[in-house]
Structure 1
Amino acid sequence: MFHGDRPIYLQIRDIIVARIIDRGGSGSSGDGEQLPSVRALAAELEVNPLTVAKAYQELQAAGLVAARKGVGLYVEAGARLALLRTERAAFLKNEWPHIAVRIERLGLTPSDLFADA
């Protein structure tokens, strides 16, 4: 599940971000929804709870989730849209150029790309 190229807490952060963005799939968390507890997510992902706590701290520092005393962590209003903006920008900057080069190298056309869509 986890790759050796990035710290696990950042990979867990990415999993949580994907759940917030997806928000329609099972196990997702949209704006205003409660996140799983540190222990529950650690058990689900089979990692140390401290690693999950560090991922949650990253999200709190970014203002995407907030703790409610005695209740848990919740996704902040507007977090999904903010994440969509940043994730789209990161995709276009980091991933798309490589994909575009490969598409050109393979001689694919837009109709090839969307033939089965």
Structure 2
Amino acid sequence: MDDFHSGQPIFVQIRQRLIEMILASTVAEGEALPSVRQISADLSVNPLTVTKAFEALVDIGVVEKRRGLGMFVKEGARALLMAHEREKFLNEEWPRIAAQIAALELDVEKLLSKADEPESKGSENE
């Protein structure tokens, strides 16, 4: 599970994994997240790195620290994260993707219809 890539700091990658857990409802609102110790042991990283990831989630208002109990997903966190992740996608990733679509002169309608095709068809040339 410690398959980190060098393109981003480890704490950012851990934060993203925690975000994905909340968005997928693996950890529901009101529930405790895995402890700093547990995550640091599972991923073989420094506990301070994990703490930094948690602090980033506290800063955006989706996680709260309960003294002596751990970190908990706040009520409304999933909706807040969904809005945050959508905004991040539209501002950071979409411009690059849109530019690539334009550079490759892809037809948007064909592209969208391909997205709806079952994966079992494989890649067909048109």
**TM superposition score normalised by structure 2:** 0.78
Please state whether the residue corresponding to 1:66 is helix, strand or coil: strand
Please state whether the residue corresponding to 2:20 is helix, strand or coil: helix
Structure 2: state its 5+ residue gaps: 120-126
Matches within 5 A, 1:87-106: 87-104=85-102, 105=104
Matches within 5 A, 1:11-90: 11-23=13-25, 28-90=26-88
Displacement of 1:103 in angstroms is 3.9
Please state whether the residue corresponding to 1:12 is helix, strand or coil: helix
Question: 1:44 & 1:60 partners in 2: Cα distance?
Answer: 22
Q: What number of residue pairs does the alignment pair up?
A: 113
Across the aligned residues of Structure 1 and Structure 2, the Cα RMSD in angstroms comes to: 1.8
User: Partner letter of residue 100 of structure 1?
Assistant: A
User: Partner letter of residue 33 of structure 1?
Assistant: E
Of 7, 10, 26, which aligns to 1:8? 10
**TM superposition score normalised by structure 1:** 0.84
Which protein is bigger by CA-based radius of gyration?
2
Structure 1: state its 5+ residue gaps: none
Task: State percent identity of aligned pairs.
Answer: 42
User: Partner letter of residue 98 of structure 1?
Assistant: R
